[in-house]
Amino acid sequence: MKPMSKSPLQIARSTYQPKLPAALKGNVVLKEGATTQSVADQNEIKELFPNTYGMPLISFEPGETKENPIVGVGVILSGGQAPGGHNVISGLYDGLKVLNTANKLYGFLGGPSGLVDHQYVELTKEIVDEYRNTGGFDIIGSGRTKLEEEEQYEKGALICKKLGINAIVVIGGDDSNTNACVLAEYYSQKKTGIQVIGCPKTIDGDLKNEMIETSFGFDTACKVYSELIGNIQRDANSAKKYWHFIRLMGRSASHITLECALQSQPNICIVSEEVEAKNMTLNDVVETIVKVVVHRAKHGLNFGTILIPEGLIEFIPAMKNLISELNDLLAHNEDFNALNGDEEKREYVKGMLSTESCEIYRSLPKGIAKQLTLDRDPHGNVQVSLIETEKLLIEMVGKRLAQLKAEKKYNGKFSAINHFFGYEGRCAIPSNFDADYTYSLGYTASLLISEGKTGYMSSVLNLTAPAAEWIAGGVPITMMMNMEKRHGKMKPVIQKALVLLDGAPFKFFASQREDWADEKSSYVYPGPVQYYGPSEVCDQPTRTLLLEKGY
């Protein structure tokens, strides 16, 4: 690999030595805890995973010197990028070399497809050193190929045998780690001798539970987005104009939006899970926004910030039903595909929908309605993540305010600017927290492999304490699984973690949002991610994690 060009910050960060839990700074001994069961559907999950179900929790503690066998390990980066992926690989590499200098690490190129297609590179010290503490997944690339077929598993086993690979580490989110669990079960059943270990990655923050306190990348991404939100708020407070509608990543859960609100204190923050729980309509969401806009206008404040989660549309019950009907109606519908012209297609759709869904469809701006019928994924489903919800809300809020102005109930000025923060946070240089956390996850994965474990996810707990006090171990992936309907079939998947409305982070937000919405200035300007300086500035975890742990 050609050495990359580096900025002064990258050069400085390359010398940063991530902090490790004290228990990992020397020889360790594995301690087994309680046996586990899946979070739901225990009988079904146990039947599907007879070889990897019910395994105990694991922790590592200081221990005596021992001989460690020589192992070969393959690593896969799977799914979307998240800050810290390179440090998982760095920690894995260093851990393997500490265990036995003869150990080898191979990177499969382009994600899971690299395992199937036998595309790989041996990761040497020279290569790994180039990528320490950097953002991105470009050391070996990533991909979204799903490992679901026996033929794929067999091809993977073939290259592992050729290279002398004893274990595969899958760095990914809930779907990727579900694939890792299935792969671990298959290789155990076939007695291939190939272990599979997962690492919890996703900036969305929806891969977490009692044993996975947070997924890596969430901390950095939220700090990057919060800086941008703070910059916008300072501009709005300076110029005294524009309502900024800011859509943030997180289709399946609102963790990013909530965390950014906790860091920046915007005037309005919509939380999808609350919208669903209250059975709110799209008009209800609009009225929530309009109420604040009108109140601030009475005090001469025709500006503000509104945070919107990417997946909001799917959490509005009536919209969710509409999308479901459209998916059933239009997936591989040849009659619809043969129609010419937007209006002809629009009338066809209206004639096929239920009365309630038709009313919702008719109420939407034509651009959004068109998007719902034209932008389909390979399965024929609506690509919800492509819907520009912030633009939809701007248009609907603007129309409602015009009505109120005509009724002399509003006399402000409404000008709006839309933003979407997504890719800006996925490959940022990892924060100190993520740099340390991911390095510890990789190092822990090497220990799980050395102990012969499979079907486990690398786990590091006690994350609100200094890194030296973190607790490293492993959690059986089957413990996190339940059965869900995917493409018409019930399948085992890792249960997504949604924002809990009775959880401390949301309850704190709910107690503050009226103050943030009013005419008094409450904005917080978080500033850029800090890498150097006092620990209370540089090493702190997210507000979400601190509140969950009672701080």
Active site residues: 204
The label of the residue with tokens 């102990």 reads 451
By DSSP bridging, strand 489-494 and strand 481-486 are: antiparallel
For 458: left if phi > 0, alpha if psi spans -120 to 50, otherwise beta; the answer is beta
Per the CB < 8 A criterion, the answer to whether 23 and 472 are in contact is yes
Here the tokens at position 320 are: 């969710």
Q: What do you get for the CA distance between the two ends of the chain, in Å?
A: 45
For residue 329, how many other CB atoms are within 10 A of its CB?
Answer: 16
Instruction: Show the CA angle centred on residue 412, arms to residues 512 and 516, nearest 5°.
Output: 10
Q: Which two tokens stand for residue 365?
A: 């701006």
Burial class (CB in 10 A: 0-12, 13-18, 19+), 137: buried
Query: Strand 167-172 to strand 120-122: parallel, antiparallel, or no bridges (unpaired)?
Result: unpaired
Specify whether the CB–CB gap between 316 and 276 falls below 8 A: yes
Of 500, 499, 445, 516, which Cα lies nearest the Cα of 474?
A: 445
> Can you tell me the distance from the alpha carbon of 444 to that of 459, in angstroms, rounded to the nearest whole number?
8
Q: For residue 470, give the DSSP letter.
A: -
Q: What is the DSSP letter of 164?
A: T
Report CA 145 to chain centroid distance, whole Å. 18
Q: Which two tokens mark 247?
A: 């859509």
CA R_g for the chain: 25
| CB 231 within 8 Å of CB 524 | no
Nearest alpha-carbon partner for 62 in 95, 27, 96 = 27
Q: DSSP H helical segments within 240-365, as ranges?
A: 255-264, 272-277, 282-298, 312-315, 317-330, 334-337, 342-352, 355-363
Sign, CA dihedral 499-505-511-517, equals negative
476: Cβ contacts below 8 Å, ≥ 6 apart: 36, 52, 53, 54, 55, 56, 57, 455, 456, 457
* C-beta of residue 267 within 8 angstroms of C-beta of residue 516: yes
Q: Tell me the residue type at 545.
A: L
